[in-house]
Structure 1
Amino acid sequence: MPHTAHRVETRTVVVYSDDATVRERVRLALGRRPAPDLPELRYIECATQYAVLEAADHENVDLFILDGEAVPAGGMGLCRQLKDEIYRCPPVIVLIARRDDGWLATWSRADATVLHPVDGVRLTPVVVDLLRRRS
């Protein structure tokens, strides 16, 4: 009888920022399992717009977290591109520097925004809510 490996269920989260520190803060803020009723998170870190689009095309993404302050491609423009190009696009959170940027996030069709600097108190409940709704 062949041995079958037990497959662990995960949720795939794409984290985009040109700043490695921002990507790390997101990972550390959420940890491996942000809520007991959700599977572990698998992170795909992207430093470029191209890498995000590749992940969107080739991975089963459950959530995008995009840095609205990234350069040269900001997270809001990238969010709008994802929403325009992906049928039933997974939820997108855009990290914004100023509360006043909320109107831009509406234009980008982001599902949620979280203010910089990234911390678990603000980010985790938003991520958990969007992942639960997606399940």
Structure 2
Amino acid sequence: MADTDAQLRILVYSSNHRTRDQVRSALGRRIHPDLPELSYLDVATAAVVVEQVAAGGFDLLILDGEAAPAGGMGLAKQLKDEVAECPPILVLTGRPDDAWLASWSRAEAAVPHPIDPIRLGEAVAHLLRNTV
């Protein structure tokens, strides 16, 4: 059983506040009874993502591949190349066929827009189970 006082920290990056809201709404506070509660940090710019990830403390990064001007896939590749202990990354792709680009970016998972709460929840739970 998970420690009820622990929280898993997720950074959610998108230049679109609606996308960030959709991610948080789809995942909620707890995605599975065996995992601790989730806490979120919403980020709208790539520079802040880099700063926050360098500071550490995140269990998962969710990056919007459709963000502008810096897309989540390029940002994922940059983070994987530059941050020694980069947390797992899930990229939100523009379409299912873009999964190969997410793989190129070294993201551990990809979920296409529009956000499907079940598909996103399953992918996030899988990634978090491997980090807890």
Q: Do they fold alike, i.e. is TM over 0.5?
A: yes
RMSD: 1.2
Contact 2:53 2:86 in 1 (8 A): no
Structure 2: runs of 5 or more not aligned: none
Provide the C-alpha distance between the structure 1 equivalents of 2:31 and 2:56, rounded to a whole number of angstroms: 21
Range with greater deviation from structure 2 (52-61 or 104-113): 52-61
- 16, 20, 35: which one pairs with 1:19? 16
Contact 1:26 1:119 in 2 (8 A): no
1:90-135 C-alpha deviation (Å, 9 max, x unpaired)? 1100001112212211110110000101121110010001000111
1:33 Cα offset (Å): 0.6
Map 1:41-120 onto structure 2 (within 5 A): 41-120=38-117
- 18, 37, 40: which one pairs with 1:40? 37
Provide the C-alpha distance between the structure 1 equivalents of 2:116 and 2:98, rounded to a whole number of angstroms: 18
Give 1:56's aligned amino acid.
V
Provide the C-alpha distance between the structure 1 equivalents of 2:90 and 2:35, rounded to a whole number of angstroms: 18
Give 2:15's aligned amino acid.
D
Structure 1: runs of 5 or more not aligned: 1-6
Structure 1 length normalisation: TM-score? 0.92
1:59 Cα offset (Å): 3.8
Range with greater deviation from structure 2 (97-106 or 27-36): 97-106
Question: What is the percent sequence identity of the aligned residues?
Answer: 53
Aligned length: 129
Structure 2 length normalisation: TM-score? 0.94
Provide the C-alpha distance between the structure 2 equivalents of 1:115 and 1:125, rounded to a whole number of angstroms: 13
Q: Work out which of the two has the higher radius of gyration on C-alpha atoms and give 1 or 2.
A: 1
Q: Equivalent residue of 1:88, what SS?
A: coil
